Structure 1
Amino acid sequence: MADRDWLDDTRTSYDTVAQSYADLLRDALAGEPFQRGVLALFAELARAQGAGPVADVGCGPGRITAYLDGLGLDAFGVDLSPAMIDVARRDHPELRFEVGSMSRLDIADESLTGLLAWFSLIHVPDDEVPAVLAEFHRVLRPGGVALFGFFAGDGSRLKTQGYGGHPMHVYVHRRPPARVAAWSEAAGFVVEAEMTHRPSPDVEGGFVFAHR
């Protein structure tokens, strides 16, 4: 894993699957009441901080960005994959989407009311996560809220195809919520909640709510 660049692998993989990913997941939230509830709580906490932009970091084709917009947030999306951003701009032309890396966000210090990383930290290696979370902390204003969604558990696996059988080369990392919470606190966040969700016997999601 150390012999390859995880950013390049992630970018190339999601460029390859962008359209099929969008087609497969476009309506997925309709069947996920727990995920909708988690996002609604995040939106409520962000609105309580007043007006201001909310970044969906690792936004993919923009489906969650659009959902946050529908919840009354001034949401915009950032993604490493130019092909994903092309799909997002096509499907949601009323919203703002930018190509960018979560490891070096082109966002001013203390400028965001909220930041969402919705299952986008799952490809970041363990030794890179603290720097990414520090970057998230940098762009949030004092009191700004963050929600991190990820696959709970432990261990990593190499994903070599997905979303219609297209080739990929990305590691999928599973982490216990307590570990993500500890990393968040080390980056300067105040952690408010750790949650797990088991939508099926072999799938477990984790969520960490925090604020600056």
Structure 2
Amino acid sequence: MSTRWERIAREAAGEDYAREYAARFRALAARGEDVHGEAAFVAELVPAPARVLDAGCGTGRIAVRLSELGYDVVGVDVDLAMLWVAAGDNPELEWQWADLSTLELESTFDVVLVAGNTIPLLEDGTLADTCTRLAAHTEPGGLVICGFGLDEAHLPAGCPVTTLTDFQAAMALAGLDDVAEFSGWERGEFDPEGGYVVSVYQRPEA
């Protein structure tokens, strides 16, 4: 059975969507555009070397950049096609195939990063379980960082909106403390009408 992300991606880019997705970011980088905002955001908060889980890593753009910056990175995704591209291009990194709502890795991490609209692309009814599993893979005192669109203009066509209220409730239920919200990866002041949020949560020390 295909996931919500796979259905949306195929509709937008065809069967070879994974390679198309990776090629799009390579083209942006070749034009001189900054495609590393997520990694820079992490680096501002937690210095390398730290252990980072890129949850919903896709074709590995962020994980690879974090590795280049000196972080110990593991990438995990539910989409095998995306992981095949990531592993094929970067076999030296660790890639795991898993659903975030049932994630069971042996390690915990200083930072769990959830970018690329992974949150609203979750399957129906899995938000609470996903937040619980993200918290379980975070070291005490570690951070969970999630960035995603809050309206249709900031989401792929066909992707439903996950409200900030629902997301915050699920993260609180998972035992995570809300630290800050930003308008994007450049760390601008959060505007509830802006359509995008980057949320920073912390797992309590005790």
Please give the range of the TM-score, normalised by the shorter of the 2 chains: 0.7 to 0.9
2:200 pairs, out of 192, 198, 209, with 209
Alpha-carbon distance, 1:124 to partner: 1.6
The answer for unaligned runs of 5 or more in structure 2 is 187-193
User: How far apart are the structure 1 equivalents of 2:26 and 2:166?
Assistant: 30
> Structure 1: 5+ residue runs without aligned partners?
160-170
- SS of residue in 2 equivalent to 1:20: helix
More strand by percentage? 1
How many positions carry a matched residue from both structures? 188
Measure, in 1, the Cα distance between the counterparts of 2:129 and 2:137: 13
Between 1:185-194 and 1:19-28, the stretch displaced more is 19-28
Residue in 2 aligned with 1:187? 174
Could you give the per-residue CA deviations for residues 6-65 of structure 1, whole angstroms, max 9, x where no partner exists?
A: x634346658311111111235465248x62x53232343338xx553110111110011
2:65 corresponds to which residue? Answer: 67
Taking the aligned partners of 1:83 and 1:125, their CA distance within structure 2 comes to 18
Aligned position for 2:114: 117
Higher relative contact order (CA 8 A, sep 6+): 1
Deviation of residue 157 (structure 1)? Answer: 8.2
C-alpha separation in 1, matches of 2:144 and 2:175:
12
| Distance in 2, Cα, partners of 1:81 & 1:145 | 24
Corresponding position of 2:189: none
Q: Which residue of 1 aligns with 2:102?
A: 104
- What does residue 167 of structure 1 align with? none
Identity across matched positions, percent = 25
CA 1:194–1:156: 2 relative to 1, 3 Å = closer
**TM-score, length of structure 2 as denominator length:** 0.76
- CA distance 1:108–1:40, shift in 2 (3 Å): same
Q: Quote how far apart the aligned CAs of 1:179 are.
A: 4.3
Name the structure 1 match of 2:160. 173
Deviation of 1:132 after TM superposition, in Å, equals: 0.5
- Aligned partners of 1:43, 1:198: CA distance in 2, in Å? 11
Q: CA deviation at 1:108?
A: 2.8
Task: Name the structure 1 match of 2:3.
Answer: 8
